[in-house]
Chains A and B, each alone.
Chain A
């Protein structure tokens, strides 16, 4: 099977850009990806675009064509919405389209404008990834949902707020050298423990920030990359997606993410690899506990074991299994609809040796994990150096 190549990548700075419109953010990232790829924009055949809260943040639906227009493309353009996994879902459809031979060149991306509406409205907008009738009306917030899972985890497997704090400290340290990251400040375990509570047991520093930003990838078929002499050594060799009941209370487990496990199994099978073959990961750490749940469901650790990984230094860029070398959602920032693609941007540059810490990370196989809501949606993509 022919694997789509990542021919170009682009990002905006992730941070507080309240006055930048979504279309301006996406144009920035999309044009950067097109320029990076060396592909003739006239060859792009489709746009796959992820966005979650555009109606609430910008009173803007129908964003697919708007974003194609913003980057100067007159092509079919569709928005994908799967909460925080929106652009992970967009990547998956783009990969399938290129593999099927229906297109040789596609643009995939995502954008989110969030800080313009302020923290209370953004908290509200994020919450609607949950079940409106049976969760939101009972006061569930997005941090609250992960707090419910964190407390379940502590009770079932053990672990502490200190263990979670070590994850935040690690991801902040990783972000220090990432010029696109929102929070480039060194923090300590004490800083995390002393920060204001958002949803106990989670505090402010257990949580990703609210972020404006955009991301984009140019994907091409293997033949197109070779026939046009593109510098595109990284391929997406595996794709998987899992689903689950929307409300957390309707899940079999409150401290596991089966949708991630399903997505991972499918993606690993697709790529012909196993969990032991994975060298480096970007996982969906919207909250510190989410990194733990992800690493266990991805098969990197047994259930109950990933809680100690950051504290033990294993998931640092210098450790045996680097996780979120970009800073993750926690420190790089989480412009919701842009996150899945931004993970692939980071991993592509890392495998190509042009990302911060690339000289400290060995290996040619990377995994990107993007999750929506309390992981009622999950996508996993395997990236490998193929040329």
Chain B
């Protein structure tokens, strides 16, 4: 595990996902984003509130990554995916299925797990 200062609200969100109380930031116009936010990145609204993350998300796109950075060499090959959880899209590692079985539209849950290479925490999707 890399010992560094915590990254504020990013690590708070990971704590929350670990405790099964994940959330996202929702603006007055219904756009979702991830903390820390003071302004909605989609419309500029400053009326923001935390909302619970939906229990399940949908894979929108994914890639099987074989050439990794040094932080992920032992994880490779691995799948990185973008999944939508209601109003918010999230990028995470997709685990728990054969690479060949990953599909756009697949339903996934969200968790926080350690990477194999560094033991750092990462957002992970697993099929539901």
Contact = CB atoms under 8 A, between A and B. Distances in A.
Nearest to A140: B80
Interface in A132-166: 133-141, 143-144, 147-149, 151-152, 155
Nearest to A149: B61
A147 B79 CA distance: 11
Contacts of B49: none
A139 B67 contact: no
Contacts of B41: 245, 250
Given A139-B80, A245-B41, A148 B62 contact: yes
Contacts of B98: none
A198 B91 CA distance: 19
Interface string A180-204: 0000000000000000111111100
A139 B104 contact: no
Contacts of B61: 148-149, 151-152, 155, 254
Interface size class on chain A is 35 or more
A133 B67 contact: no
Interface residues of B, number: 36
Nearest to A123: B69
A247 B63 CA distance: 16
Nearest to B71: A124
A139 B65 contact: yes
Given A151-B104, A249-B89, A144 B80 contact: yes
A249 B24 CA distance: 14
B10 A133 contact: yes
Contact of A137 (B63, B78, B120): B120
Contacts of A141: 65, 67-69
Contact of B91 (A120, A135, A245): A135
Contacts of B82: 148, 248-249, 254
Given A133-B10, A151-B61, A250-B33, A143 B89 contact: no
Contacts of B60: 152, 254
A148 B70 CA distance: 21
Given A120-B69, A250-B42, A254-B82, A138 B91 contact: yes
B19 interface: no
A151 B79 CA distance: 13
A200 B60 CA distance: 15
A155 B65 CA distance: 19
Contacts of A133: 7, 10
B14 to A, nearest CB: 9
A373 to B, nearest CB: 14
Contact of B93 (A139, A149, A152, A202): A139
A353 B69 CA distance: 42
A127 interface: yes
B67 A138 contact: no
A134 B64 contact: no
Given A249-B90, A254-B82, A134 B68 contact: no
A144 B82 CA distance: 11
Contact of B67 (A121, A135, A149, A198): A198
A121 to B, nearest CB: 7
B66 interface: yes
A237 B80 CA distance: 42
Contacts of A245: 41-42
Interface of B: 7, 10, 33-34, 41-42, 60-73, 75, 78, 80-82, 89-93, 104, 115, 120-123
Q: Which 5 A-B pairs have the closest CB atoms?
A: A147-B63, A249-B89, A124-B69, A200-B64, A139-B80
24 contacts: A124-B71, A133-B7, A133-B10, A134-B90, A136-B69, A137-B120, A137-B122, A138-B123, A141-B67, A141-B68, A141-B69, A143-B67, A147-B65, A148-B62, A151-B63, A151-B104, A155-B61, A197-B64, A199-B65, A199-B66, A200-B63, A202-B63, A249-B89, A252-B42
